[in-house]
Chains A and B, each alone.
Chain A
Amino acid sequence: MYPFFRSLLVGVSALLLSTGLAFASDVAVSNPKVRLMPGDIPSAGYFKLHNGTNETIKLVGARSDAFGMVHMHMSMKKDGMAHMKAVPEIDVAAGEDFEFAPSGYHLMLMKRSAPLKVGDEVVITLEFEGRDPMPVSFKVVSPAAM
């Protein structure tokens, strides 16, 4: 391959990845949102993860420069009580989707280290076992908007 085309391809791939697009045969995230709470109150991150590869992927956590602590959590209901527990890892089978959505799985975002406001974009990096970490740009939304 001509060096020019190779660098063009690399450039285009990097551009596609950095804008959140991904190839059909890859891992993709759609609708990433952070529901921003005021003050030092923890916020929550929601998104849909698509495993377009042909093997199971294992999500093992997330980190962000904007938050001192990011945990994967799950809300549960038992006997009319709302409970929450930390989730150490999530398997997503080949071709499957996994959704972090209100009243279910969420990223609990604590100890905000940078001021954020509604409309901002914030990068949260998803971490997988045996795969490169995946930086995702989350849109910051108002709690009233979800």
Chain B
Amino acid sequence: MSRLLFPLFVAMILAGCTGEDWRTQDVSDVLPPLDFELVNESGKTVTEQDYAGKATLLFFGYTHCPDVCPTTLARLRAILQQLDSTLRDRIQVLFVSVDPKRDTPESLSIYTDAFGPEFIGLTGTKAQIDDIANRYRVSYSYDEPDESGNYNVSHSSAVLAFDDQGHPTFMAIQSEPNEAVKADVTKLAKMVGKH
């Protein structure tokens, strides 16, 4: 019996060592590692390698989103503000626009500055944005424009988290309580540099 149980026991220990217990949804086995080619706030093409060394909170949205996007970013800001500066410096928030027609690098720069230095806007061509959106199963669609040409964009509103190696960790949906998101962001920051 012990011969049968031993490998199982070892497997359980190994699983316990590599896996983390997240309070929000664990996506470490579900999502692929961080990988993209997009355009930064200065108009320069960048990849995930330009953001290596910090843990990443990835969020898709658009600047003409008056409610859900600022609410989500403000919540992340409030959580980051509660961390001590050493931990806060290990986190970056990448805000990927799914509305490249209206969101220029300049407008993204103005937008993310309203939330703090940890917030970085990324945009790109439709093809570049579709690549990263498809990779993380993020969907978005444009509503019909109104009489003045203004249109809403429907988009996935979850925050996806990656460690400093670009490995997926957790996903926080909008309705997730602040305490759970804060606990996971703190834990993610503490993991930076520990691999």
Contact = CB atoms under 8 A, between A and B. Distances in A.
A41 B64 CA distance: 6
Interface stretch (B5-13, B26-34, B153-161, B184-192): B153-161
Interface stretch (A54-62, A80-88, A130-138): A80-88
Nearest to B63: A41
Q: Secondary structure at chain B's binding surface: helix, strand, loop or mixed?
A: loop
Interface of A: 35, 37-39, 41-44, 69, 73, 75, 77, 80-86, 102-104, 106, 108-110, 142-146
Q: Which of A41, A42, A103, A145 has the most CB of B within 10 A?
A: A41
B173 interface: yes
Contact of A38 (B71, B113, B154, B158): B113
Interface of B: 63-68, 70-71, 73-74, 77-78, 107, 110-111, 113-116, 139-140, 143, 146, 148, 150, 152, 154-158, 173-175
A124 B85 CA distance: 39
B152 A83 contact: yes
6 closest cross-chain pairs (CB), A and B: A82-B157, A102-B71, A44-B66, A82-B68, A42-B66, A84-B152
A77 to B, nearest CB: 6
Contacts of A143: 70, 73-74, 114-115
Q: Which of B66, B107, B152, B155 has the most CB of A within 10 A?
A: B66
B66 A73 contact: yes
A99 B113 CA distance: 29
B71 A146 contact: yes
A106 B66 contact: yes
